[in-house]
Amino acid sequence: MEWFEIALVYILLPMILAGLWILPGTSAWELNLTTSSVFASPTTIWKTFASGYLHTSLWHLVNNVVGYWMLMAVIYPLVILAEWREEFFVTMGAYILAIPFFVGAFSLKLEADITAVGFSGFTSALVGFLIVVLFAAIHHEEDGPHPVWALGPGLLAIAGAVALMSYSTWYLATALTTVAILGVPGLVVTAVMVWSHDDLLAWGRSDYWLLYVVGMAVAFAVWLTGFFMTDPKTSTNTLGHFAGLVAGFGFPYWAFGLNPMTERLTSRFTG
């Protein structure tokens, strides 16, 4: 791995975040949640984008940067193992441009006279990517399940997020319905994956088993802190975390998991 690549992955974004925190006057770029739409005006569009990279305090900044480093410490080795460099950089570019708008749109559902800022929606998106790239690495290196099977754990992660955050953001009845709609298919897909792969745990005998286990542990830890270990009395925006997770899983799963599989099946049946 080239030093330039290491700096690009691990240093560039944290430096930008730190620079924005030091830069005076950036509080004027914060998105107020009484705004009608993230696309209401050119100014609102800029505030929505910028708010995804601003922080209210040094602790807020450090917390998000450490979360980013924790995730990247396992994501990028998995990217190398899966030979997913191109997929990774395309995904990161899409996240940088789009995640603030997903987070902003979901955050407006709070309809509160407060501002929403922070990079935590982006780190939640990385949890979604980690689920997909973990499957990609195991599939490439151990001939394990294809990344298309990441749908099961992905749906379970999203359903679990809804369940954990329901006490502070949604009515319980609505949350239970949503959990069932997402969780039941997630369980079914996961069960079929386990049933259809006789040697599913072969990766446990791999030279890279520790990387896989740490990847799972980091994904779970960041997921848990984003949706459970939060206080509804604080300004923690779990809706923003949720938006990041959904978009963060959905894009790479569709682009690099589901879409290639669909193309392969189509070509098989069309000749």
Domain boundaries, the chain: 3-270
User: What pLDDT score does 106 carry?
Assistant: 87
Positive or negative, the Cα torsion across 214, 215, 218, 224? negative
Among 14, 66, 68, 78, smallest CA distance to 216 is for 78
Query: How many CB atoms sit inside 10 A of residue 110's CB?
Result: 17
For residues 225 and 189, what is the distance between their CA atoms, to the nearest angstrom?
26
Among 63, 46, 108, 43, smallest CA distance to 225 is for 63
Query: Which residues are registered as beta bridge partners of 115?
Result: 32
Three-class secondary structure of residue 5 per DSSP: helix
Ranges of the chain with pLDDT below 70 = 1, 167-174, 200-205, 228-236, 260-271
For residues 38 and 109, is the Cβ–Cβ distance under 8 A? no
| Burial grade of 10 (CB within 10 A; 0-12, 13-18, 19 or more) | middle
- DSSP letter for 145, please: -
> What DSSP string describes 74-127?
HHHHHHHHHT-HHHHHHHHHHHHHHHHHHHHHHHGGG--SSEE--SHHHHHHHH
User: What pLDDT score does 208 carry?
Assistant: 84
Query: How many CB atoms sit inside 10 A of residue 73's CB?
Result: 13
User: What pLDDT score does 171 carry?
Assistant: 46
Residue 95 tokens read as 């996240």
User: What pLDDT score does 85 carry?
Assistant: 93
Give whole-number Cα distances, 129 to 20, 25, 34, 96, in Å: 25, 33, 31, 13
| Helix axes 209-227 and 58-82, enclosed angle (nearest 10) | 150
Which residues fall within 8 angstroms of residue 145, CB to CB, at 6 or more apart?
Answer: 135, 138, 139, 193, 197, 200
Per-residue pLDDT tens for 104-159?
998 888 777 788 899 999 999 999 999 999 999 998 888 888 999 999 999 999 99
User: What pLDDT score does 228 carry?
Assistant: 65
Per-residue pLDDT tens for 222-244?
888 777 655 544 556 788 899 99
The residue whose two tokens read 């690099």 is: 256
The residue whose two tokens read 């099977």 is: 149
Query: Which residues are registered as beta bridge partners of 116?
Result: 31
Helices and strands in the chain, H and E counts = 11, 2
What is the reported pTM? 0.90
Which residues fall within 8 angstroms of residue 188, CB to CB, at 6 or more apart?
Answer: 152
